[in-house]
Chain A
Amino acid sequence: MKHAFYILLTMCLLACSGPQVPSQYKESQAEVPIYPDYQDVTVPENIAPLNFELLIQSDEAVVRLSAAGEEIVCEGLKIRPDIDDWKALTQKAKGDAISVEVFADIKGQWIRFKPFHIYVSADPIDPWLSYRLISPSYVSYEELTLNQRCLENFDEEAFVDNMLCSTESGGQCVNCHSYQQWNPDRMQFHARQTHGGTLIAYDGKIEKVDMRHDSLLSAGVYPAWHPTEKLIAYSTNMTMQAFHTAAPEKIEVLDSESDLILYDVDKHEVTTIEKQPNELEIFPTWSPDGKWLYFCSAHFVYQSDSVDRSEITMRANEVKYNIYRKSFNLKTRQFGEREMVFCADTLGKSATFPRLSPDGRWLLFTLGEWGCFHIWHHDADLWMKDLKTGEVRAMDEINSDDTESYHSWSSNGRWVVFSSRRYDGVFTRPFIAHIDAQGRGSKPFELPAKDPDLHRQFLKSYNVPELMKGPVKLSPQEVASKLKDDGKPITYKSK
Chain B
Amino acid sequence: MVKRLLPYLFPLTAAILLVVLESDVLYALQEQNLFLHTPLFYEQQMVRAGGLLTWIGSYLTQYFYYPMLGAGILCLLWAFFMWLCKRAFQLENTWLTLIPVACLVLTITTLGYWIYYLKLPGHAFCATIGSIVTVALVWGYRAVPRRYHLPSVYIIFAAELGYPLFGFYGLMATALMALLTWKDDKRRWEDISLAVTLIILWPIKNYYFEYHETNIVNIYWAALPVFAHQGARFFAYNIPYIILFASMVLMALKPGIKSMKWLNVTIVAVVAICLLKYWNKDENLHRELSMTRSVEAGQWEKVLKTAKGVKDEPTRLICMMRNLALFNQGAKTTTGYRDGAKRPAAPFTIHTVHTAGKLLYLQYGIPNYCYRWCMEDGVEYGWSVEKLKLMAMCSILNGESVAAQRYVNLLKKTDFHKQWAKRMEAVIQDQRLVLQVPEFKHILPLLRDDNFLTADQSQQELFLIEHIMSTPGATPEQRRLADFTMNYYRSNHQKLVEQ
A residues sitting closer than 8 Å to B (CB atoms) are: 135-143, 145, 158, 161, 163-170, 241-248, 250-252, 313-314, 316, 423-427, 451, 454, 456-459, 475-477, 480
Contact = CB atoms under 8 A, between A and B. Distances in A.
Contacts of A158: 212
B379 A165 contact: no
A364 to B, nearest CB: 26
Nearest to A315: B453
B376 A243 contact: no
B453 A314 contact: yes
A457 B375 contact: no
Contact of B213 (A139, A161, A314, A423): A161
A167 B221 CA distance: 13
B214 A245 contact: no
B407 to A, nearest CB: 9
Interface in B348-383: 366, 368-369, 371-372, 375-380, 383
Interface string B447-461: 011111111100000
A250 B372 CA distance: 8
Given A137-B376, A164-B215, A245-B368, A457 B228 contact: no
B87 to A, nearest CB: 38
B1 interface: no
B9 interface: no
Given A164-B212, A167-B215, A314-B453, A423 B375 contact: no
Given A245-B452, A247-B451, A456-B409, A168 B212 contact: no
Q: 8 tightest A-B contacts by CB?
A: A168-B228, A476-B212, A169-B231, A137-B379, A140-B376, A424-B402, A135-B379, A246-B451
Given A168-B231, A242-B453, A457-B38, A163 B215 contact: yes
B262 to A, nearest CB: 43
B214 A164 contact: yes
B171 to A, nearest CB: 20
Given A140-B375, A424-B405, A459-B378, 18 more contacts: A135-B378, A140-B379, A168-B233, A243-B369, A243-B453, A243-B454, A244-B451, A245-B467, A247-B368, A248-B400, A252-B453, A314-B453, A425-B400, A425-B403, A457-B409, A476-B212, A477-B207, A477-B212
A313 B453 contact: yes
A451 B41 CA distance: 13
B449 A246 contact: yes
B402 A168 contact: no
A8 to B, nearest CB: 31
A244 B368 contact: yes
A452 to B, nearest CB: 12
A456 B38 CA distance: 12
B202 to A, nearest CB: 16
B194 interface: no
Contacts of B228: 168-169
7 contacts: A137-B375, A139-B376, A163-B215, A168-B233, A245-B369, A313-B453, A457-B38
A245 B448 contact: yes
A477 B39 CA distance: 27
A248 B409 CA distance: 21
A167 B119 CA distance: 13
B102 to A, nearest CB: 27
Contact of A138 (B226, B376, B410): B376
A426 B368 CA distance: 13
A408 to B, nearest CB: 25
A169 B40 CA distance: 30
B336 to A, nearest CB: 33
Contact of B40 (A313, A314, A425, A457): A457
Nearest to A137: B379
A245 B454 contact: yes
Contacts of A456: 406, 409
B266 interface: no
Contacts of A165: 215
A458 B226 CA distance: 26
A68 to B, nearest CB: 35
B443 to A, nearest CB: 13
Given A457-B38, A457-B40, A457-B410, A163 B213 contact: yes
Contact of B403 (A316, A424, A457): A424
Contact of B380 (A142, A170, A425): A142
Contacts of A451: 39-40
Interface in B398-445: 398, 400, 402-403, 405-406, 409-410
Contacts of A142: 119, 379-380
Contacts of A246: 366, 368, 448-452
B372 A477 contact: no
B236 interface: no
A244 B400 CA distance: 15
B402 A423 contact: yes
B148 interface: no
Contacts of B215: 163-167, 480
B487 to A, nearest CB: 25
Contacts of A459: 378, 383
Interface string B287-316: 000000000000000000000000000000
